């Protein structure tokens, strides 16, 4: 058998197989491209359906929490700041009535406990040490009680996104009023005097009826101090940081 006769059957089979392969290869490529295109279109459709963070958070306009015509009761604790001789802790109660969304009137009272401050030392011939209460009999600043009336003005109401979809509402207020101050005069005797205060406060609304209330107040009063051998009066001021939880009663909640 000649070589040409042996190759002839192989040629008859090889040509159709090659033709079939050439036809199948583009079809497979087209199928892969179509599958990728379908996957991309499905992903784009899913992205369009998925809400963005801006879509999740509904826009809020105006005051969501209303104060006008409502009473506000605030138990609070206070801490003295920048006091050279005493560290004071005050426990108080505030009652406010909101005449409008931005205007309130109120009264407050607090009882204060004083401990020796860490900013001064007592130095004698045997060395220096931290002061005790007996060493601070003739120094100013030992306030034991505060009570007064005040007017509040809160022109700023705002909101901020804190955690994903959560929105924190708050307001900022300026407060001021008159006070009755009980303090320890020279030689430890307690006495009352009239003073006043100015302050800046902020409320963080937890629910329509509950807020976290933070205030920084500067109490100013005229007190007796020891100056050389005579007792004299001078203007004193006491900076206090108050933190409390407010409960709103009556009126519209939102």
CB 177 within 8 A of CB 149: yes
Same domain, 205 and 86: yes
Domain limits for position 101: 71-249
Q: Is residue 13 part of a domain?
A: yes
Model confidence band, residue 121 (pLDDT cutoffs 50, 70, 90): low
Mean of pLDDT over the chain: 79
What backbone phi and psi angles, to 5 degrees, belong to 156? -110, 125
83 and 18 in a common domain: no
The pLDDT of residue 243 is 98
Q: Are residues 185 and 83 in the same domain?
A: yes
Based on the domain organization, do 131 and 242 belong to the same domain? yes
Provide, rounded to the nearest whole percent, the portion of the chain with pLDDT above 70. Answer: 64
Which pair of tokens denotes residue 251? Answer: 């009126």
Sign, CA dihedral 61-64-70-71, equals: negative
Pairing assessment for the beta strands 143-163 and 127-129 based on DSSP bridges: unpaired
In a domain, 218, yes or no: yes
Q: Is the pLDDT of residue 228 over 50?
A: no
Distance CA 244, CA 239 (A): 17
- Count of domains observed in the chain: 2
What is the mean pLDDT of the segment spanning 98-126? 86
Residue 65 included in any domain:
no
Indicate which CATH number applies to the domain containing 154: 2.40.160.20
Model pTM score? 0.69
Is 18 among the domain residues?
Answer: yes
Q: Same domain for 3 and 104?
A: no
pLDDT of residue 251: 74
Do 39 and 81 belong together in one domain?
no
Shared-domain flag, residues 91 and 24: no
Confidence of residue 160 (pLDDT cuts 50, 70, 90): confident
Residue 66 maps to a domain:
no
For residue 63, is it within any domain?
no
User: Helix %, strand %, coil % for the chain, to 5?
Assistant: 25, 55, 20
- The rounded radius of gyration (Å) of the Cα atoms in the chain is 39
Instruction: Compute the distance between CA of residue 12 and CA of residue 81 in angstroms, rounded to an integer.
Output: 103
- The tens digit of pLDDT for each residue in 58-106 reads 555 556 788 999 999 999 999 999 887 888 999 999 999 999 999 999 9
210/152 same-domain check: yes
Q: Assess whether 110 and 78 both reside in one domain.
A: yes
Domain co-membership, 125 together with 180: yes
56 domain residue, yes or no? no
pLDDT digits (tens, 9 = 90+) for 167-217: 889 999 999 999 999 988 766 567 889 999 999 999 999 998 999 999 999
Residue 105 and residue 193 share a domain? yes
Phi and psi at residue 102, in whole multiples of 5°? -115, 0
Same domain? For 7 and 103 the reply is: no
35 or 112, greater pLDDT: 112
What is the C-alpha end-to-end distance of the chain, expressed in Å?
Answer: 105
CB–CB of 200/215 below 8 Å? yes
In a domain, 59, yes or no: no
* The pLDDT value given to residue 130: 66
């Amino acid at each position: 058998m000649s070589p040409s006769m042996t190759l002839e059957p192989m040629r008859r089979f090889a040509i159709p197989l090659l033709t079939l392969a050439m036809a199948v290869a583009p079809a497979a490529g087209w199928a892969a491209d179509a599958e990728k295109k379908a996957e991309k279109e499905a992903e784009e459709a899913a992205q369009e359906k998925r809400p963005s963070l801006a879509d999740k958070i509904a826009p809020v306009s105006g005051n969501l929490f209303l104060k006008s015509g409502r009473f506000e009761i605030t138990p609070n604790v206070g801490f003295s700041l920048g006091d050279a001789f005493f560290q004071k802790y005050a426990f108080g109660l505030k009652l406010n009535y909101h005449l409008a969304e931005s205007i309130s009137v109120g009264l407050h009272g607090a009882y204060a406990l004083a401990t020796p401050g860490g900013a001064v030392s007592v130095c004698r011939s045997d060395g220096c040490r931290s002061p005790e209460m007996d060493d601070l009999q003739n120094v100013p600043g030992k306030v034991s009680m505060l009570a007064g009336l005040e007017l509040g003005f809160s022109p700023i109401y705002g909101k901020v996104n804190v955690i994903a979809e959560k929105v924190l509402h708050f307001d900022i207020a300026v407060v001021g009023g008159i006070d009755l101050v009980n303090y320890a005069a020279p030689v430890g005797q307690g006495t009352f005097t009239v003073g006043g205060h100015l302050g800046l406060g902020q409320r963080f609304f937890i629910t329509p009826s509950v807020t976290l209330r933070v205030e920084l107040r500067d109490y100013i009063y005229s007190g007796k101090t020891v100056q050389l051998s005579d007792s004299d009066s001078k203007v004193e001021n006491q900076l206090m940081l108050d933190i409390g939880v407010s409960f709103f009663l009556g009126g519209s909640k939102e």
